[in-house]
Amino acid sequence: MIVLPPHIASEIIAHAREDAPVEACGLLAGADGVVQRCYRLTNRDRSPEHFTLVPQEQFAAAKDMRANGLQAVAVYHSHPASPARMSDEDLRLAVAPGIRYVIVSLMSEEPDIRSFILQDGVPVEEPALVQESPE
């Protein structure tokens, strides 16, 4: 399960809309699956169909997470015109097992945010709750 406080969900959606039709991407950090911070990164591919993170930006985000006692919770990216499912390209480019993928789809009027974890190369969806973090 991943918990996205409403202001984080809004940030991801805003980023996705600003970068459309190119896919937006970034990192989500927090603790125990509860996201506390969103790092907007650059899609090096500048593509509407796939994304690649910029290593220097990833490194800077990781450094900031460490400085703030946060852990990487997920990689997020947008699907400007397709459903919130992992595409063949996403699976081909997936970097590490065990990392979560949060995908926001702008295909419908109401953005759809979903989260997946790769298990043996197969994306398994987990609940993505938009709510304030539990106290």
**Position 19 contacts Zn ion (CB under 5 A):** no
**Position 52 contacts Zn ion (CB under 5 A):** no
Size of the site for Zn ion (CB under 5 A): 2
What residue has token string 């852990």? 71
The DSSP H or E segment spanning 92 is helix 88-93
Least distance (Å) between residue 89 CB and Zn ion: 6
Question: In the complex with Zn ion, which residue's Cβ is closer, 36 or 105?
Answer: 105
Can you tell me the distance from the alpha carbon of 2 to that of 19, in angstroms, rounded to the nearest whole number?
Answer: 24
Amino acid at 99: I
Residues, the chain, total? Answer: 135
Which of 2, 90, 116, 118 contacts Zn ion by CB under 5 A?
Answer: 90
**Long-range contacts, 116-123 (Cβ 8 Å, 24+):** 116/86, 118/91, 118/94, 121/91, 121/94, 121/97, 123/85, 123/86, 123/90, 123/91
Question: In the complex with Zn ion, which residue's Cβ is closer, 33 or 80?
Answer: 80
The distance of Cα 43 from the centroid of its chain, to the nearest Å, equals 12
Question: In the complex with Zn ion, which residue's Cβ is closer, 67 or 96?
Answer: 96
Q: What is the dihedral angle through the alpha carbons of 85, 91, 92, 98, rounded to the nearest 10 degrees? A: 150
Which of 87, 94, 99, 133 contacts Zn ion by CB under 5 A?
Answer: 87
**Position 82 contacts Zn ion (CB under 5 A):** no
Cβ-closest residue to Zn ion?
Answer: 90
Question: In the complex with Zn ion, which residue's Cβ is closer, 45 or 57?
Answer: 45
CB under 5 A: which stretch of 14-22, 28-36, 86-94, 108-116 binds Zn ion? Answer: 86-94
**Which residues contact Zn ion (rule: CB under 5 A)?**
87, 90
